[in-house]
Structure 1
């Protein structure tokens, strides 16, 4: 069941059978694409969103038949007076400088490492805020997926509710082919393969970490990643292409650490050995390429050039980005 118009009163909607396992925030975004992640978080944090009568977090997964309390949803055409004022001309120019591709329905940004996608209690400059550079209300682009703060690369946005809905749906259905580049310690063997290892979130806030878990363990989520070694620097380090088939928090970082080859420059999932090899290098993880159906028809393929953090890693180990196959995962499919 879907609700096209924003409800003006509290409603109870039920999770469809086909939506079993969907995250709460994605369930809301499917119905009201104009809602920002921050708005959904506020509604959940204040207890206005409830699932089967209980408070819920945006990342909680829903089960078929669950009753979701839906509070009045802000009209996309009306700007909330509590919203922060428009960004400065300088910030707007900065946002526009990140554009890799733009048309009437889609914007692709090259997100730099260190810039958060969404805000938090200690984060005031983030991509979601910078989207005011394109306008407010219906003119404001919508986030349709996320990247970690310290991961650089392609970030897609939808222009208008319908385009955002179609893009978000492609990510939710795992139809987007994402290729990441990473530099890891050592040489994975075999040089190409797939990691099928469930992950579970442990800890809180800044100490939150994803750890390997038994698939039957409460809170464990299935996670699948394909990998291919593109080049290596003797036995010290390897340049990897990574393709996540699922979208778990820190999935690539946790999976590479789990097989004994943590990504360099990663303070959370690294080891003393990888930290020593990393030296001053920042996180060596870059969202290089995204391929998916364009909401207006045809294919959309966007690639992001390396940022200064990854360039430093490539220079240090002698890798050259022009040596890589644009799609090293051609023909590779999920294991299950």
Structure 2
């Protein structure tokens, strides 16, 4: 990527192969850290951002060799960009499980969204961009629910993102979760094959339900341990639908303990009294083909201390 000018003057950026293929708005978000998204969309809308001398719409994708003009913008101070750097660094840096020049795997903390929005000033991806200012490219490969902890893949190159996205689309990425289901069950293995459909409520909340007209969804559940009123399982989603494990667990009659959206309120209250303060769902393992070498790459996220201690309580 070649630049003729930077800072608060006009920037001219020539798009290289690594940056080609992404939308101009996403390119600018990563480039103009600290600038509100509303301002980025305004300079696109008013034509202050130009591609090869002409206007460009926010949804248009970049091509190799494009010459992008970015108008003078005074970047927001690091103290006022909405991301508390010291807090984020302490929260995320110790949880990096694997990293190389192409990608990193993070043990995402529970309670932290993968990205900002919907009233949140920042999430994991904004936090990583803050503590890795030298990184030219950082993008989420997939998502985890805010209350779910565990393995989260972040691409550090556009080429890596494209290849990993393809693996996810083709259901080639191995994913193993640990979940605590309400109620005991005697079977050791359960394959849930039920199509899922997204619904948006009047409140704007997104819900998923089992529906004949939905998209195919398959989850394999394997029993790990049994307790008096719950069962610890490995959940292996064969497909990758939104809220798949949570909805399939609910449809089996054994919702995930602590699930405020798809769970049982009475059961959740009972487990809160025992000390569980969150959804018991953790992305334990992931395995994929490395986007550059093609070699099988694995990462495992240890169970968070609060969940491990809660299992000790159940055992006692």
Asked whether the two chains share a fold, i.e. TM above 0.5, the reply is yes
1:1-336, aligned counterparts within 5 Å? 31-32=21-22, 36=26, 70-71=59-60, 73=62, 81=73, 86=78, 87=83, 89-91=85-87, 93-94=89-90, 95-132=92-129, 133-135=131-133, 139-188=136-185, 190-202=187-199, 203-204=201-202, 207-215=205-213, 220-234=214-228, 236-279=229-272, 280-281=275-276, 282-297=278-293, 298-318=295-315
State the 1:92 CA deviation. Answer: 5.4
Residue 35 to residue 135, structure 1, CA distance change in 2 (3 Å): farther
Query: Is the CA contact (8 Å cut-off) linking 2:178 and 2:232 kept in structure 1?
Result: yes
Q: Distance in 2 between matches of 1:239 and 1:290?
A: 19
TM-score, normalised via structure 2 length = 0.72
Query: Is the CA contact (8 Å cut-off) linking 2:257 and 2:279 kept in structure 1?
Result: yes
Query: Is the CA contact (8 Å cut-off) linking 1:134 and 1:141 kept in structure 2?
Result: no
Query: Is the CA contact (8 Å cut-off) linking 2:23 and 2:61 kept in structure 1?
Result: no
Structure 2 residue runs of 5 or longer lacking an equivalent are 1-13, 30-36, 42-57
Give the secondary-structure state (helix, strand or coil) at the position aligned to 2:234.
strand
Aligned length: 264
Structure 1 residue runs of 5 or longer lacking an equivalent are 7-28, 47-68, 320-336
Residue 231 to residue 93, structure 1, CA distance change in 2 (3 Å): same
Query: Is the CA contact (8 Å cut-off) linking 2:23 and 2:60 kept in structure 1?
Result: no
Q: CA RMSD in A?
A: 3.5
TM-score, normalised via structure 1 length = 0.68
Larger Rg: 2
Structure 1 residue aligned with 2:7? none
State the 1:222 CA deviation. Answer: 1.8
Q: Distance in 1 between matches of 2:232 and 2:22?
A: 40
Residue 121 to residue 271, structure 1, CA distance change in 2 (3 Å): closer
State the 1:34 CA deviation. Answer: 8.8
Q: Distance in 2 between matches of 1:315 and 1:256?
A: 23
Q: Distance in 1 between matches of 2:212 and 2:94?
A: 44
State the 1:113 CA deviation. Answer: 0.4
Query: Is the CA contact (8 Å cut-off) linking 1:36 and 1:143 kept in structure 2?
Result: no
Deviations 1:5-60 (A, max 9, x none): 97xxxxxxxxxxxxxxxxxxxxxx99428974996xx89xx8xxxxxxxxxxxxxx
Query: Is the CA contact (8 Å cut-off) linking 2:20 and 2:61 kept in structure 1?
Result: no
State the 1:192 CA deviation. Answer: 0.5
Q: Distance in 2 between matches of 1:82 and 1:181?
A: 46
Deviations 1:264-295 (A, max 9, x none): 01111111442244224110000000011112
